[in-house]
A and B are shown apart, each in its own frame.
Chain A
């Protein structure tokens, strides 16, 4: 049951992360007690569905990630499962944006789908490259394949693509325009009270899970001297999160249409080349 306890602890950390991002704990307290604000004629069913789906898909994606030696759900097709769950964020964000019956959330929802169409193909190619290098879709075997050399060393392009797509997936930092200040908070503009708290926690959960997945995919999983495997997994996850946070602070916002061009003209060919190189090395 250690893994389940770890998941619960992780969720606690997420609420703390929301508190920090909203600048104070009062923000969380407000989220818990404040009466919800409603727009005119919202589709409440779809809003609630979207708000709840976001943290749920983040947790479901996290199930297959090995914390140290073992994952909660050690699936043979773990990488495909991870990919499928994280795409659930598309549905969640679009639903939350649509249901409010308000302009800015709607624009934000559509921005996220556009961003998704841009990042998803390079993202999939990065995951396929890892699976090809390891010869397996199971996270445990991907980690085992990195005993000699971490994948980040000989698949740097795939790692770069993964970092960009992870930020886009959690619509955070330079990729945060679907919920950006430029459109008054976008998807989150009309969310208030517990809805807002759950949605933001779900978004941070997705960011943390995306960072945690980079560890078994590219950074050798729990491998490292002195410390036990679970501790190394945690240390590396925090390091990747710090990288994300640094990018979020330093890089300006990216416009969807420009990112779309960049993704299709640069990232897809680059990730295909990386796939080719890894394929030749493996052969």
Chain B
């Protein structure tokens, strides 16, 4: 039951992204859709992934809203505008991708379930991602973080009010 409510919510707000005529509403319709997907993960007891999806999507959408409004040159903002561009191309691409995915669902030879869910899915997830390569993963993680921070530092030009 909860699954169907979330599924309808996810699809409906996904459609709303293309129906509404405001950038802010489109962004938050997309956020609603993605949160519904995150909540579906909570339903199947993947609490870590579910909470993480919700966390990441809220931050992502807010950053996206800032950039989108910045680049659309509509800073004061509530002017209605169409959210649709390149309608024919978009329709063709999305229909093709949809057909491909549906075909995939029916043509795949789904394996039978083996074993039971692990007692702690979070730990199992960590082990399957990192497992014996923990050291490598940690080093890569720190390297990525250092790259991010130094990119930001290099890209920042001091504003007029900074010393």
Residues of A participating in the B interface, judged by any CB pair closer than 8 Å: 41-43, 45-46, 49, 75-77, 80-81, 83-84, 87-88, 90-91, 94-95, 98-99, 101, 106, 110, 113, 116-117, 120, 137, 257, 261, 264, 268
Check B25–A94 contact: CB distance below 8 A: no
* Chain A residues with CB below 8 A from B22, complex form: 43
Chain B residues within 8 Å of A, Cβ to Cβ:
22, 24-25, 28, 31, 47-48, 51-52, 54-55, 58-59, 61-63, 65-66, 76-78, 120, 122, 149, 152-153, 159, 161-162
Decide: A264 and B55 in contact? CB cutoff 8 A. Answer: no
Residues of A within 8 A of B120 (CB): 76
A93 nearest in chain B by CB position: B62
Contact (Cβ within 8 A) A91 B58? yes
Q: Provide the residues of chain A in CB contact with B77, threshold 8 Å.
A: 98, 101, 106
**Contacting pair A76 B78 (CB below 8 A):** no
Provide the residues of chain B in CB contact with A46, threshold 8 Å.
Answer: 24-25, 28
Residues of B within 8 A of A120 (CB): 59
Whether the pair A137, B24 counts as a contact (CB closer than 8 A) is no
Given A43-B78, A87-B59 in contact, is the A80-B48 Cβ separation under 8 Å? yes
Known: A87-B58, A91-B31. A257 touches B78 (CB 8 A): no
Cβ contact within 8 Å between A45 and B25: yes
- For the complex, give the distance between the alpha carbons of A264 and B24 in Å: 28
Residues of B within 8 A of A84 (CB): 51-52, 54-55, 58
On chain A, the residues within 8 Å of B78 by CB distance are 41-43, 101
Which residues of B are found within 8 Å of A261, using beta-carbon distances? 162
Cross-chain pairs A/B with CB under 8 angstroms, 22 sampled: A43-B25, A43-B78, A45-B25, A46-B24, A46-B25, A46-B28, A76-B122, A81-B51, A83-B55, A84-B52, A84-B55, A84-B58, A87-B58, A87-B59, A90-B58, A91-B31, A91-B58, A101-B78, A116-B59, A116-B62, A264-B149, A264-B152
Minimum Cβ distance to chain B for residue A121 (Å):
9
CB-CB < 8 A to A98: which residues of B?
24, 77
User: Given A77-B122, A84-B52: A90 and B62 within 8 A (CB)?
Assistant: yes
Cα–Cα, bound, A77→B48 (Å)? 6
Query: CA of A117 to CA of B64 in the docked complex: distance in angstroms?
Result: 13
